[in-house]
A and B are shown apart, each in its own frame.
Chain A
Amino acid sequence: MTKTTHPLLKVLMYLLLIVGSVFMVFPFIWMLSTSLKTVGAISQMPPQLIPNPMNWDNYVTIWNKIDFGRYTMNSFFIVSIEMVGSLVSSAFVAFGLAMFTFRLRGLIYMIMLATLMIPSQVTMIPTYFIWKEFGALNSYYPLIVPSFLGGAFGIFLMHQFIKSLPKELYESATIDGCSPPGIFFKIYLPLCKPALAALGVFTFMGAWNNTLGPLIYLQDKELYTLPLGLLYLKSENVNQALLMAGAVITTLPVVMVYLFAQKQFVQGIASTGMKG
Protein backbone atom coordinates (compact mmCIF):
# COMPACT_ATOMS: atom_id res chain seq x y z
CA MET A 1 0.00 0.00 0.00
CA THR A 2 2.03 2.97 1.21
CA LYS A 3 5.54 2.88 -0.14
CA THR A 4 6.84 5.64 2.11
CA THR A 5 6.53 3.88 5.48
CA HIS A 6 9.28 5.11 7.77
CA PRO A 7 11.75 2.32 8.66
CA LEU A 8 11.29 3.00 12.38
CA LEU A 9 7.54 2.75 11.99
CA LYS A 10 8.02 -0.56 10.24
CA VAL A 11 10.09 -1.93 13.11
CA LEU A 12 7.35 -0.84 15.49
CA MET A 13 4.74 -2.63 13.38
CA TYR A 14 6.72 -5.88 13.36
CA LEU A 15 7.18 -5.56 17.09
CA LEU A 16 3.47 -5.10 17.70
CA LEU A 17 2.56 -7.95 15.35
CA ILE A 18 5.02 -10.27 17.06
CA VAL A 19 3.80 -9.37 20.56
CA GLY A 20 0.23 -9.99 19.36
CA SER A 21 1.24 -13.30 17.79
CA VAL A 22 2.78 -14.46 21.06
CA PHE A 23 -0.54 -13.73 22.80
CA MET A 24 -2.37 -15.76 20.14
CA VAL A 25 0.03 -18.69 19.78
CA PHE A 26 1.51 -19.13 23.24
CA PRO A 27 -1.54 -20.98 24.63
CA PHE A 28 -1.05 -23.60 21.90
CA ILE A 29 2.64 -23.93 22.67
CA TRP A 30 1.86 -24.24 26.36
CA MET A 31 -0.83 -26.81 25.66
CA LEU A 32 1.61 -28.92 23.66
CA SER A 33 4.45 -28.44 26.14
CA THR A 34 2.37 -29.38 29.19
CA SER A 35 0.93 -32.39 27.38
CA LEU A 36 4.43 -33.88 27.18
CA LYS A 37 5.38 -33.39 30.82
CA THR A 38 5.80 -35.95 33.55
CA VAL A 39 3.70 -35.55 36.69
CA GLY A 40 6.70 -34.09 38.50
CA ALA A 41 7.46 -31.55 35.80
CA ILE A 42 3.92 -30.13 35.72
CA SER A 43 4.27 -28.19 38.94
CA GLN A 44 7.99 -27.56 38.65
CA MET A 45 9.08 -23.94 39.06
CA PRO A 46 10.38 -22.37 36.90
CA PRO A 47 8.24 -24.18 34.33
CA GLN A 48 10.00 -25.95 31.48
CA LEU A 49 9.07 -24.77 28.01
CA ILE A 50 10.57 -27.85 26.37
CA PRO A 51 9.86 -30.77 28.66
CA ASN A 52 12.76 -32.94 29.64
CA PRO A 53 12.14 -35.87 29.48
CA MET A 54 9.39 -35.89 26.86
CA ASN A 55 6.61 -37.99 28.26
CA TRP A 56 4.76 -39.30 25.18
CA ASP A 57 3.04 -41.83 27.41
CA ASN A 58 0.46 -39.17 28.31
CA TYR A 59 -1.09 -39.60 24.87
CA VAL A 60 -1.22 -43.37 25.22
CA THR A 61 -2.77 -43.08 28.67
CA ILE A 62 -5.38 -40.61 27.55
CA TRP A 63 -6.21 -42.55 24.40
CA ASN A 64 -6.88 -45.62 26.56
CA LYS A 65 -8.79 -43.70 29.21
CA ILE A 66 -11.08 -41.67 26.96
CA ASP A 67 -12.39 -43.01 23.68
CA PHE A 68 -11.02 -40.11 21.64
CA GLY A 69 -10.87 -42.24 18.50
CA ARG A 70 -14.60 -42.74 18.64
CA TYR A 71 -15.26 -39.09 19.53
CA THR A 72 -13.19 -37.96 16.56
CA MET A 73 -15.23 -40.21 14.29
CA ASN A 74 -18.47 -38.95 15.86
CA SER A 75 -17.45 -35.33 15.36
CA PHE A 76 -16.46 -35.93 11.74
CA PHE A 77 -19.70 -37.83 11.14
CA ILE A 78 -21.95 -35.08 12.52
CA VAL A 79 -19.98 -32.30 10.85
CA SER A 80 -20.01 -33.96 7.40
CA ILE A 81 -23.75 -34.59 7.49
CA GLU A 82 -24.44 -31.08 8.73
CA MET A 83 -22.28 -29.67 5.95
CA VAL A 84 -24.01 -31.62 3.18
CA GLY A 85 -27.42 -30.75 4.62
CA SER A 86 -26.80 -27.09 5.10
CA LEU A 87 -25.03 -26.52 1.76
CA VAL A 88 -27.62 -28.28 -0.39
CA SER A 89 -30.70 -27.03 1.46
CA SER A 90 -29.53 -23.42 1.66
CA ALA A 91 -28.75 -23.35 -2.05
CA PHE A 92 -32.05 -25.11 -2.80
CA VAL A 93 -34.17 -22.55 -0.92
CA ALA A 94 -32.11 -19.64 -2.23
CA PHE A 95 -32.67 -20.90 -5.78
CA GLY A 96 -36.44 -20.83 -5.19
CA LEU A 97 -36.28 -17.29 -3.84
CA ALA A 98 -34.07 -16.04 -6.63
CA MET A 99 -35.72 -17.71 -9.62
CA PHE A 100 -39.50 -17.66 -9.18
CA THR A 101 -42.18 -15.06 -8.59
CA PHE A 102 -44.84 -16.17 -6.14
CA ARG A 103 -47.10 -14.39 -3.74
CA LEU A 104 -45.41 -15.18 -0.45
CA ARG A 105 -41.91 -14.66 -1.81
CA GLY A 106 -41.46 -11.25 -0.20
CA LEU A 107 -42.79 -12.49 3.13
CA ILE A 108 -40.50 -15.52 3.20
CA TYR A 109 -37.53 -13.33 2.37
CA MET A 110 -38.41 -10.94 5.18
CA ILE A 111 -38.86 -13.73 7.71
CA MET A 112 -35.50 -15.10 6.68
CA LEU A 113 -33.79 -11.82 7.54
CA ALA A 114 -35.75 -11.57 10.79
CA THR A 115 -34.61 -15.03 11.94
CA LEU A 116 -31.04 -13.76 11.99
CA MET A 117 -32.01 -11.59 14.98
CA ILE A 118 -33.74 -14.22 17.13
CA PRO A 119 -31.22 -15.52 19.67
CA SER A 120 -31.04 -19.25 20.16
CA GLN A 121 -31.59 -19.19 23.93
CA VAL A 122 -35.20 -18.10 23.34
CA THR A 123 -35.97 -21.05 21.07
CA MET A 124 -33.75 -23.55 22.90
CA ILE A 125 -36.23 -24.85 25.48
CA PRO A 126 -39.19 -25.41 23.10
CA THR A 127 -36.82 -27.00 20.58
CA TYR A 128 -35.59 -29.35 23.28
CA PHE A 129 -39.21 -30.14 24.08
CA ILE A 130 -39.94 -30.95 20.41
CA TRP A 131 -37.08 -33.44 20.26
CA LYS A 132 -38.15 -34.95 23.56
CA GLU A 133 -41.66 -35.48 22.15
CA PHE A 134 -40.17 -37.11 19.04
CA GLY A 135 -38.20 -39.39 21.34
CA ALA A 136 -35.02 -38.10 19.72
CA LEU A 137 -33.13 -37.05 22.84
CA ASN A 138 -29.77 -38.75 23.17
CA SER A 139 -29.42 -39.05 19.39
CA TYR A 140 -27.86 -37.05 16.57
CA TYR A 141 -31.20 -36.04 15.04
CA PRO A 142 -31.54 -32.74 16.95
CA LEU A 143 -28.08 -31.76 15.72
CA ILE A 144 -28.34 -32.76 12.06
CA VAL A 145 -32.00 -32.59 10.98
CA PRO A 146 -32.34 -28.77 11.21
CA SER A 147 -29.36 -28.34 8.89
CA PHE A 148 -31.38 -29.97 6.08
CA LEU A 149 -34.05 -27.28 6.30
CA GLY A 150 -31.89 -24.35 5.24
CA GLY A 151 -30.45 -21.73 7.57
CA ALA A 152 -31.14 -18.01 7.21
CA PHE A 153 -27.48 -17.06 6.94
CA GLY A 154 -26.74 -19.72 4.32
CA ILE A 155 -29.82 -18.90 2.26
CA PHE A 156 -28.90 -15.23 2.32
CA LEU A 157 -25.35 -15.93 1.16
CA MET A 158 -26.49 -18.27 -1.63
CA HIS A 159 -29.31 -15.95 -2.69
CA GLN A 160 -26.88 -13.07 -3.24
CA PHE A 161 -24.68 -15.36 -5.30
CA ILE A 162 -27.40 -16.97 -7.44
CA LYS A 163 -28.85 -13.56 -8.23
CA SER A 164 -25.49 -12.52 -9.66
CA LEU A 165 -25.49 -15.41 -12.19
CA PRO A 166 -26.78 -14.63 -15.72
CA LYS A 167 -30.52 -15.20 -16.18
CA GLU A 168 -30.02 -16.71 -19.65
CA LEU A 169 -28.67 -19.86 -18.01
CA TYR A 170 -32.10 -20.74 -16.71
CA GLU A 171 -33.93 -19.90 -19.91
CA SER A 172 -31.68 -21.89 -22.20
CA ALA A 173 -31.91 -24.89 -19.87
CA THR A 174 -35.72 -24.68 -19.95
CA ILE A 175 -35.65 -24.66 -23.74
CA ASP A 176 -33.50 -27.78 -23.60
CA GLY A 177 -36.36 -29.41 -21.66
CA CYS A 178 -34.83 -29.40 -18.19
CA SER A 179 -37.18 -29.30 -15.15
CA PRO A 180 -36.49 -26.77 -12.37
CA PRO A 181 -35.02 -29.37 -9.98
CA GLY A 182 -32.85 -30.64 -12.83
CA ILE A 183 -31.69 -27.12 -13.57
CA PHE A 184 -30.86 -26.60 -9.90
CA PHE A 185 -28.90 -29.80 -9.39
CA LYS A 186 -27.19 -29.99 -12.79
CA ILE A 187 -26.48 -26.34 -13.55
CA TYR A 188 -26.81 -24.01 -10.59
CA LEU A 189 -25.44 -26.10 -7.73
CA PRO A 190 -22.12 -26.74 -9.49
CA LEU A 191 -21.88 -23.05 -10.41
CA CYS A 192 -22.34 -22.03 -6.77
CA LYS A 193 -19.01 -23.55 -5.73
CA PRO A 194 -17.34 -20.32 -4.53
CA ALA A 195 -20.29 -19.37 -2.33
CA LEU A 196 -20.68 -22.96 -1.15
CA ALA A 197 -17.03 -23.00 -0.09
CA ALA A 198 -17.56 -19.89 2.02
CA LEU A 199 -20.73 -21.30 3.58
CA GLY A 200 -19.00 -24.64 4.09
CA VAL A 201 -16.35 -22.98 6.22
CA PHE A 202 -18.95 -21.44 8.51
CA THR A 203 -20.93 -24.63 8.80
CA PHE A 204 -17.76 -26.54 9.56
CA MET A 205 -16.59 -24.18 12.29
CA GLY A 206 -20.06 -23.90 13.78
CA ALA A 207 -20.64 -27.65 13.84
CA TRP A 208 -17.15 -28.66 14.98
CA ASN A 209 -17.07 -26.15 17.81
CA ASN A 210 -20.70 -26.58 18.87
CA THR A 211 -20.71 -27.50 22.56
CA LEU A 212 -24.14 -26.45 23.82
CA GLY A 213 -26.07 -28.63 21.34
CA PRO A 214 -24.23 -31.89 22.09
CA LEU A 215 -24.15 -30.97 25.78
CA ILE A 216 -27.92 -30.82 26.16
CA TYR A 217 -28.87 -33.54 23.65
CA LEU A 218 -26.27 -36.30 24.09
CA GLN A 219 -26.15 -38.39 27.25
CA ASP A 220 -24.50 -41.65 26.22
CA LYS A 221 -20.74 -41.45 26.26
CA GLU A 222 -20.53 -43.41 23.00
CA LEU A 223 -22.29 -40.55 21.24
CA TYR A 224 -20.01 -37.77 22.54
CA THR A 225 -18.28 -35.35 20.19
CA LEU A 226 -14.65 -34.33 20.72
CA PRO A 227 -15.39 -31.17 22.77
CA LEU A 228 -17.77 -33.16 25.00
CA GLY A 229 -15.12 -35.84 25.43
CA LEU A 230 -12.69 -33.18 26.60
CA LEU A 231 -15.30 -31.70 28.94
CA TYR A 232 -15.82 -35.17 30.39
CA LEU A 233 -12.08 -35.63 30.79
CA LYS A 234 -11.94 -32.34 32.66
CA SER A 235 -14.65 -33.45 35.06
CA GLU A 236 -12.56 -36.56 35.83
CA ASN A 237 -9.93 -34.41 37.57
CA VAL A 238 -6.97 -35.88 35.70
CA ASN A 239 -3.59 -34.16 35.96
CA GLN A 240 -2.84 -31.16 33.75
CA ALA A 241 -0.52 -33.08 31.41
CA LEU A 242 -3.26 -35.59 30.55
CA LEU A 243 -5.84 -32.82 30.21
CA MET A 244 -3.60 -30.90 27.82
CA ALA A 245 -2.96 -34.07 25.80
CA GLY A 246 -6.74 -34.31 25.45
CA ALA A 247 -6.90 -30.67 24.40
CA VAL A 248 -4.24 -31.28 21.74
CA ILE A 249 -6.20 -34.26 20.40
CA THR A 250 -9.37 -32.13 20.27
CA THR A 251 -7.67 -29.21 18.54
CA LEU A 252 -5.49 -31.06 16.04
CA PRO A 253 -8.13 -32.20 13.51
CA VAL A 254 -9.72 -28.79 13.11
CA VAL A 255 -6.34 -27.08 12.82
CA MET A 256 -5.36 -29.57 10.10
CA VAL A 257 -8.55 -28.82 8.18
CA TYR A 258 -7.86 -25.12 8.59
CA LEU A 259 -4.29 -25.45 7.28
CA PHE A 260 -5.52 -27.30 4.19
CA ALA A 261 -8.41 -24.93 3.49
CA GLN A 262 -6.91 -21.65 4.66
CA LYS A 263 -7.94 -19.79 1.53
CA GLN A 264 -11.60 -20.80 1.88
CA PHE A 265 -11.64 -19.84 5.55
CA VAL A 266 -10.27 -16.37 4.93
CA GLN A 267 -12.49 -15.74 1.90
CA GLY A 268 -15.50 -17.11 3.72
CA ILE A 269 -15.07 -14.77 6.67
CA ALA A 270 -14.29 -11.83 4.40
CA SER A 271 -17.46 -12.45 2.39
CA THR A 272 -19.73 -11.98 5.44
CA GLY A 273 -19.08 -8.29 5.32
CA MET A 274 -20.06 -8.08 1.67
CA LYS A 275 -23.71 -8.56 2.43
CA GLY A 276 -26.23 -5.77 2.00
Chain B
Amino acid sequence: MQKQGYWGYIFTLPFVVNVVVFLLFPIVFSTYISFTEWDLFNAPRWIGLDNWVRVLNKHEFWVSIRNVFVFALIFVPIQTIMAFVIAFMLNQAIRAKGLFRLFYFLPVVTPWIAGGVVWVWMFNYQYGVINWALESMGLDPVKWIDSSNWLMVISSIAIVQVWKGVGQSMIMILAGMQNVPKEVLEASQIDGANGWKQLTKVVFPMVTPMVYLVMILSTISAFQAFDVFLGLFGSITTGIPERNMVPNLLVYRDAFLLFKMGPASATAWLLFVIILVFTLFQKYFEKKWVHYD
Protein backbone atom coordinates (compact mmCIF):
# COMPACT_ATOMS: atom_id res chain seq x y z
CA MET B 1 0.00 0.00 0.00
CA GLN B 2 1.23 3.47 -0.93
CA LYS B 3 1.99 6.30 1.43
CA GLN B 4 0.81 9.41 -0.46
CA GLY B 5 -2.41 9.48 1.53
CA TYR B 6 -3.98 12.46 -0.22
CA TRP B 7 -4.37 10.39 -3.37
CA GLY B 8 -6.57 8.09 -1.35
CA TYR B 9 -8.92 10.97 -0.60
CA ILE B 10 -8.93 12.08 -4.21
CA PHE B 11 -9.82 8.63 -5.50
CA THR B 12 -12.52 7.98 -2.92
CA LEU B 13 -14.01 11.48 -3.22
CA PRO B 14 -16.83 10.51 -5.62
CA PHE B 15 -18.06 7.88 -3.21
CA VAL B 16 -17.81 10.21 -0.22
CA VAL B 17 -19.98 12.72 -2.10
CA ASN B 18 -22.38 9.90 -2.92
CA VAL B 19 -22.65 8.85 0.73
CA VAL B 20 -23.13 12.37 2.04
CA VAL B 21 -25.67 13.48 -0.58
CA PHE B 22 -27.58 10.31 -1.33
CA LEU B 23 -27.28 8.45 1.96
CA LEU B 24 -26.48 10.46 5.08
CA PHE B 25 -28.64 13.43 4.16
CA PRO B 26 -31.60 11.23 3.11
CA ILE B 27 -31.37 9.16 6.29
CA VAL B 28 -31.42 12.23 8.52
CA PHE B 29 -34.00 14.02 6.40
CA SER B 30 -36.32 11.04 6.11
CA THR B 31 -36.22 10.57 9.90
CA TYR B 32 -37.13 14.24 10.30
CA ILE B 33 -39.94 14.02 7.74
CA SER B 34 -41.48 11.08 9.56
CA PHE B 35 -42.21 13.51 12.43
CA THR B 36 -43.77 16.14 10.18
CA GLU B 37 -46.71 16.79 7.94
CA TRP B 38 -45.27 17.48 4.52
CA ASP B 39 -46.55 17.50 0.94
CA LEU B 40 -43.15 18.02 -0.75
CA PHE B 41 -43.99 21.60 -1.76
CA ASN B 42 -44.87 23.59 1.36
CA ALA B 43 -42.74 23.81 4.50
CA PRO B 44 -42.85 20.68 6.69
CA ARG B 45 -44.85 21.08 9.91
CA TRP B 46 -43.65 19.26 13.05
CA ILE B 47 -46.33 16.95 14.43
CA GLY B 48 -44.26 14.72 16.71
CA LEU B 49 -45.13 11.04 16.79
CA ASP B 50 -48.47 11.47 15.00
CA ASN B 51 -47.42 9.78 11.76
CA TRP B 52 -45.99 6.80 13.58
CA VAL B 53 -49.06 6.40 15.75
CA ARG B 54 -51.36 6.83 12.78
CA VAL B 55 -49.50 4.31 10.62
CA LEU B 56 -49.34 1.75 13.43
CA ASN B 57 -53.04 2.19 14.13
CA LYS B 58 -54.06 1.70 10.52
CA HIS B 59 -55.56 -1.61 9.55
CA GLU B 60 -53.98 -1.45 6.08
CA PHE B 61 -50.46 -1.28 7.55
CA TRP B 62 -50.93 -4.54 9.43
CA VAL B 63 -52.57 -6.13 6.41
CA SER B 64 -49.55 -5.13 4.32
CA ILE B 65 -47.19 -6.62 6.93
CA ARG B 66 -49.19 -9.85 7.05
CA ASN B 67 -49.18 -10.02 3.25
CA VAL B 68 -45.46 -9.45 2.89
CA PHE B 69 -44.71 -12.07 5.56
CA VAL B 70 -46.90 -14.63 3.84
CA PHE B 71 -45.41 -13.61 0.50
CA ALA B 72 -41.88 -14.21 1.83
CA LEU B 73 -42.96 -17.42 3.54
CA ILE B 74 -44.24 -18.84 0.23
CA PHE B 75 -41.64 -17.34 -2.09
CA VAL B 76 -38.34 -17.87 -0.24
CA PRO B 77 -38.61 -21.65 0.46
CA ILE B 78 -40.02 -22.48 -2.98
CA GLN B 79 -37.36 -20.42 -4.74
CA THR B 80 -34.49 -21.77 -2.62
CA ILE B 81 -35.49 -25.43 -2.87
CA MET B 82 -36.22 -25.18 -6.60
CA ALA B 83 -32.91 -23.36 -7.22
CA PHE B 84 -31.02 -26.01 -5.25
CA VAL B 85 -32.67 -28.96 -7.00
CA ILE B 86 -32.15 -27.49 -10.49
CA ALA B 87 -28.55 -26.55 -9.70
CA PHE B 88 -27.90 -30.07 -8.42
CA MET B 89 -29.33 -31.61 -11.57
CA LEU B 90 -27.43 -29.24 -13.85
CA ASN B 91 -24.25 -30.21 -12.01
CA GLN B 92 -24.70 -33.86 -13.07
CA ALA B 93 -23.48 -35.44 -16.28
CA ILE B 94 -26.51 -34.58 -18.41
CA ARG B 95 -27.01 -33.25 -21.92
CA ALA B 96 -28.17 -29.81 -23.07
CA LYS B 97 -26.95 -28.10 -19.89
CA GLY B 98 -26.42 -24.80 -21.69
CA LEU B 99 -29.93 -24.90 -23.10
CA PHE B 100 -31.52 -25.61 -19.70
CA ARG B 101 -29.46 -22.86 -18.12
CA LEU B 102 -30.61 -20.48 -20.84
CA PHE B 103 -34.27 -21.40 -20.24
CA TYR B 104 -34.06 -20.95 -16.48
CA PHE B 105 -32.22 -17.66 -16.75
CA LEU B 106 -34.44 -16.05 -19.40
CA PRO B 107 -36.99 -14.56 -16.94
CA VAL B 108 -34.16 -12.99 -14.92
CA VAL B 109 -33.26 -10.64 -17.77
CA THR B 110 -36.88 -9.95 -18.76
CA PRO B 111 -38.23 -6.55 -17.69
CA TRP B 112 -40.80 -6.84 -14.91
CA ILE B 113 -43.56 -5.08 -16.79
CA ALA B 114 -43.24 -7.45 -19.76
CA GLY B 115 -43.28 -10.47 -17.46
CA GLY B 116 -46.19 -8.95 -15.56
CA VAL B 117 -48.48 -8.36 -18.52
CA VAL B 118 -48.06 -11.89 -19.86
CA TRP B 119 -48.73 -13.47 -16.45
CA VAL B 120 -51.86 -11.36 -16.01
CA TRP B 121 -53.01 -12.61 -19.38
CA MET B 122 -52.28 -16.22 -18.49
CA PHE B 123 -54.07 -15.75 -15.15
CA ASN B 124 -57.16 -14.29 -16.88
CA TYR B 125 -60.28 -15.93 -15.45
CA GLN B 126 -62.26 -16.28 -18.67
CA TYR B 127 -59.69 -16.51 -21.46
CA GLY B 128 -56.49 -17.33 -19.57
CA VAL B 129 -54.49 -20.31 -20.76
CA ILE B 130 -54.03 -21.62 -17.19
CA ASN B 131 -57.73 -21.86 -16.50
CA TRP B 132 -58.25 -23.39 -19.93
CA ALA B 133 -55.73 -26.08 -18.99
CA LEU B 134 -57.51 -26.67 -15.67
CA GLU B 135 -60.88 -26.91 -17.37
CA SER B 136 -59.66 -29.33 -20.01
CA MET B 137 -58.50 -31.55 -17.15
CA GLY B 138 -62.02 -31.38 -15.76
CA LEU B 139 -61.18 -28.94 -12.95
CA ASP B 140 -62.91 -25.70 -12.05
CA PRO B 141 -61.40 -22.41 -13.23
CA VAL B 142 -59.66 -20.38 -10.54
CA LYS B 143 -59.60 -16.65 -9.90
CA TRP B 144 -55.89 -16.00 -9.48
CA ILE B 145 -54.82 -12.42 -8.95
CA ASP B 146 -58.42 -11.20 -9.24
CA SER B 147 -59.47 -13.35 -6.33
CA SER B 148 -61.24 -11.80 -3.38
CA ASN B 149 -59.21 -14.16 -1.21
CA TRP B 150 -55.95 -12.40 -0.32
CA LEU B 151 -54.06 -15.66 0.18
CA MET B 152 -54.83 -16.67 -3.40
CA VAL B 153 -53.64 -13.30 -4.72
CA ILE B 154 -50.44 -13.32 -2.67
CA SER B 155 -49.63 -16.93 -3.60
CA SER B 156 -50.17 -16.23 -7.30
CA ILE B 157 -47.84 -13.24 -7.09
CA ALA B 158 -45.26 -15.31 -5.20
CA ILE B 159 -45.30 -17.87 -8.02
CA VAL B 160 -44.55 -15.13 -10.56
CA GLN B 161 -41.73 -13.89 -8.33
CA VAL B 162 -40.27 -17.42 -8.30
CA TRP B 163 -40.50 -17.55 -12.09
CA LYS B 164 -38.54 -14.29 -12.28
CA GLY B 165 -35.92 -15.02 -9.65
CA VAL B 166 -35.17 -18.73 -9.49
CA GLY B 167 -32.63 -18.59 -12.35
CA GLN B 168 -30.39 -16.14 -10.54
CA SER B 169 -30.42 -18.15 -7.29
CA MET B 170 -29.82 -21.33 -9.27
CA ILE B 171 -26.71 -19.91 -10.98
CA MET B 172 -25.31 -18.83 -7.59
CA ILE B 173 -25.85 -22.24 -5.98
CA LEU B 174 -24.50 -23.96 -9.09
CA ALA B 175 -21.32 -21.87 -8.80
CA GLY B 176 -21.01 -23.04 -5.20
CA MET B 177 -21.44 -26.67 -6.26
CA GLN B 178 -18.81 -26.37 -8.94
CA ASN B 179 -16.38 -25.28 -6.24
CA VAL B 180 -16.78 -28.61 -4.43
CA PRO B 181 -13.46 -30.34 -5.22
CA LYS B 182 -13.71 -33.50 -7.35
CA GLU B 183 -11.37 -35.32 -4.96
CA VAL B 184 -13.84 -34.89 -2.11
CA LEU B 185 -16.61 -36.45 -4.16
CA GLU B 186 -14.42 -39.29 -5.35
CA ALA B 187 -13.21 -39.97 -1.82
CA SER B 188 -16.79 -40.12 -0.56
CA GLN B 189 -17.65 -42.55 -3.36
CA ILE B 190 -14.78 -44.82 -2.41
CA ASP B 191 -16.05 -44.69 1.15
CA GLY B 192 -19.30 -46.09 -0.20
CA ALA B 193 -21.53 -43.02 -0.21
CA ASN B 194 -24.40 -43.42 -2.67
CA GLY B 195 -25.97 -40.56 -4.61
CA TRP B 196 -28.39 -39.48 -1.89
CA LYS B 197 -25.84 -39.72 0.91
CA GLN B 198 -23.35 -37.80 -1.18
CA LEU B 199 -25.91 -35.07 -1.75
CA THR B 200 -26.97 -34.68 1.86
CA LYS B 201 -23.66 -35.36 3.61
CA VAL B 202 -21.09 -33.91 1.20
CA VAL B 203 -22.53 -31.54 -1.40
CA PHE B 204 -25.20 -29.83 0.70
CA PRO B 205 -22.95 -28.94 3.67
CA MET B 206 -20.34 -27.52 1.30
CA VAL B 207 -22.77 -25.21 -0.48
CA THR B 208 -24.62 -24.05 2.63
CA PRO B 209 -22.84 -20.65 2.60
CA MET B 210 -24.23 -20.02 -0.90
CA VAL B 211 -27.69 -21.33 0.00
CA TYR B 212 -27.64 -19.02 3.01
CA LEU B 213 -26.68 -16.04 0.83
CA VAL B 214 -29.47 -16.90 -1.62
CA MET B 215 -31.97 -17.08 1.24
CA ILE B 216 -30.89 -13.75 2.72
CA LEU B 217 -31.05 -12.03 -0.67
CA SER B 218 -34.46 -13.49 -1.54
CA THR B 219 -35.87 -12.62 1.87
CA ILE B 220 -34.78 -9.01 1.50
CA SER B 221 -36.16 -8.82 -2.02
CA ALA B 222 -39.44 -10.36 -0.85
CA PHE B 223 -39.92 -7.78 1.88
CA GLN B 224 -39.09 -5.02 -0.60
CA ALA B 225 -41.39 -6.43 -3.28
CA PHE B 226 -42.68 -3.67 -5.52
CA ASP B 227 -41.88 -4.42 -9.16
CA VAL B 228 -43.85 -7.65 -9.20
CA PHE B 229 -46.94 -5.77 -8.00
CA LEU B 230 -46.36 -2.97 -10.50
CA GLY B 231 -45.94 -5.56 -13.26
CA LEU B 232 -49.09 -7.48 -12.35
CA PHE B 233 -51.44 -4.66 -11.33
CA GLY B 234 -50.19 -2.31 -14.03
CA SER B 235 -50.39 1.40 -13.38
CA ILE B 236 -50.51 1.63 -9.63
CA THR B 237 -53.28 3.91 -8.51
CA THR B 238 -54.74 4.77 -5.15
CA GLY B 239 -57.31 2.10 -5.77
CA ILE B 240 -55.41 -1.09 -4.95
CA PRO B 241 -57.64 -3.08 -2.62
CA GLU B 242 -56.39 -3.09 0.95
CA ARG B 243 -56.30 -6.90 1.04
CA ASN B 244 -53.57 -6.94 -1.66
CA MET B 245 -51.31 -4.30 -0.11
CA VAL B 246 -47.63 -4.68 0.74
CA PRO B 247 -45.52 -2.06 2.62
CA ASN B 248 -43.60 -0.75 -0.38
CA LEU B 249 -46.85 -0.14 -2.25
CA LEU B 250 -48.04 1.91 0.74
CA VAL B 251 -44.82 3.94 0.67
CA TYR B 252 -45.17 4.59 -3.04
CA ARG B 253 -48.87 5.42 -2.83
CA ASP B 254 -48.52 7.76 0.16
CA ALA B 255 -45.46 9.54 -1.24
CA PHE B 256 -46.05 9.85 -4.97
CA LEU B 257 -49.81 9.59 -5.38
CA LEU B 258 -51.11 11.21 -2.19
CA PHE B 259 -48.07 13.42 -1.42
CA LYS B 260 -48.16 12.45 2.25
CA MET B 261 -44.43 12.30 2.87
CA GLY B 262 -44.76 11.87 6.66
CA PRO B 263 -46.64 8.56 6.77
CA ALA B 264 -44.63 7.33 3.76
CA SER B 265 -41.33 7.92 5.59
CA ALA B 266 -42.60 6.33 8.79
CA THR B 267 -43.77 3.26 6.85
CA ALA B 268 -40.42 3.02 5.05
CA TRP B 269 -38.55 3.08 8.37
CA LEU B 270 -40.86 0.47 9.89
CA LEU B 271 -40.24 -1.77 6.89
CA PHE B 272 -36.50 -1.27 7.31
CA VAL B 273 -36.70 -2.32 10.95
CA ILE B 274 -38.64 -5.45 10.02
CA ILE B 275 -36.08 -6.40 7.35
CA LEU B 276 -33.24 -5.78 9.80
CA VAL B 277 -34.83 -7.93 12.51
CA PHE B 278 -35.49 -10.70 10.03
CA THR B 279 -31.93 -10.60 8.66
CA LEU B 280 -30.49 -10.73 12.19
CA PHE B 281 -32.86 -13.61 12.94
CA GLN B 282 -31.53 -15.53 9.94
CA LYS B 283 -28.00 -14.61 10.95
CA TYR B 284 -28.64 -16.07 14.41
CA PHE B 285 -29.65 -19.42 12.94
CA GLU B 286 -26.80 -19.29 10.44
CA LYS B 287 -24.29 -21.09 12.65
CA LYS B 288 -26.74 -23.94 13.22
CA TRP B 289 -26.65 -25.10 9.63
CA VAL B 290 -24.18 -23.10 7.54
CA HIS B 291 -20.67 -24.59 7.29
CA TYR B 292 -17.65 -22.47 6.49
CA ASP B 293 -14.29 -24.18 5.95
Q: Which of A104, A129, A216, A247 contacts B9 (CB 8 A)?
A: A104
Q: List 10 A-B contacts (CB under 8 A).
A: A24-B103, A100-B7, A117-B279, A119-B224, A121-B272, A124-B268, A132-B40, A149-B18, A150-B14, A180-B2
Interface string of B251-266 (1 = CB under 8 A from A): 1100110000100110
Interface string of B150-190 (1 = CB under 8 A from A): 00000000000001001110011011100000100100010
* Contact size range, B: 35 or more
Interface string of B232-260 (1 = CB under 8 A from A): 00110000000000001001100110000
A134 to B264 CA separation, bound complex (whole angstroms): 22
Contact A205 B114 (CB under 8 A): no
Query: Counting CB contacts under 8 A, is A192 at the interface?
Result: no
Closest to A98 in B: B1
Query: Which B residues are in CB contact (< 8 Å) with A227?
Result: 111-114
Contact A1 B185 (CB under 8 A): yes
Query: Counting CB contacts under 8 A, is A61 at the interface?
Result: no
A118 to B108 CA separation, bound complex (whole angstroms): 23
Supply 9 further A-B pairs (C-beta < 8 A) apart from A2-B93, A115-B19: A1-B92, A34-B121, A100-B2, A104-B9, A149-B22, A209-B110, A211-B231, A227-B111, A269-B172
Contact A100 B8 (CB under 8 A): yes
Contact B195 A5 (CB under 8 A): yes
Interface residues of A (CB under 8 A from B): 1-6, 9-10, 13-14, 16-17, 20-21, 23-25, 27-28, 30-31, 34, 42-43, 45-47, 89, 92-93, 95-105, 108, 111-112, 115, 117-130, 132, 146, 148-151, 155, 170, 180, 184, 205, 208-209, 211-212, 215-216, 226-227, 230-231, 234-235, 240, 243-244, 246-248, 250-251, 254-255, 257-259, 262, 265-266, 269-274
Interface residues of B (CB under 8 A from A): 1-12, 14-19, 21-23, 25-27, 29-30, 33, 40, 82, 85-86, 89-94, 100-115, 117-119, 121-122, 126-127, 129, 132, 136, 163, 166-168, 171-172, 174-176, 182, 185, 189, 195, 198, 209-210, 213, 220, 224, 226-227, 230-231, 234-235, 248, 251-252, 255-256, 261, 264-265, 268-269, 271-272, 275-276, 279
Contact B113 A230 (CB under 8 A): yes
Closest to A22 in B: B103
Q: How far is the CB of B197 from chain A (nearest CB, A)?
A: 11
Q: How far is the CB of B44 from chain A (nearest CB, A)?
A: 10
Contact A21 B176 (CB under 8 A): no
Contact A30 B118 (CB under 8 A): yes
Contact B256 A211 (CB under 8 A): no
The 9 closest A-B pairs by CB, nearest first: A96-B11, A270-B175, A100-B8, A149-B18, A102-B5, A126-B26, A102-B8, A123-B26, A126-B29
A103 to B9 CA separation, bound complex (whole angstroms): 9
Contact A208 B111 (CB under 8 A): yes
Given the known interface contacts A2-B185, A24-B167, A273-B210, the answer about A240 and B23 at a Cβ–Cβ threshold of 8 Å is: no
Given the known interface contacts A127-B26, A254-B110, the answer about A273 and B175 at a Cβ–Cβ threshold of 8 Å is: yes
Query: Which A residues are in CB contact (< 8 Å) with B103?
Result: 21, 24-25
Query: Which B residues are in CB contact (< 8 Å) with A34?
Result: 118, 121
Contact B105 A266 (CB under 8 A): yes
Contact B127 A255 (CB under 8 A): no
Q: How far is the CB of A136 from chain B (nearest CB, A)?
A: 13
Q: How far is the CB of A86 from chain B (nearest CB, A)?
A: 11
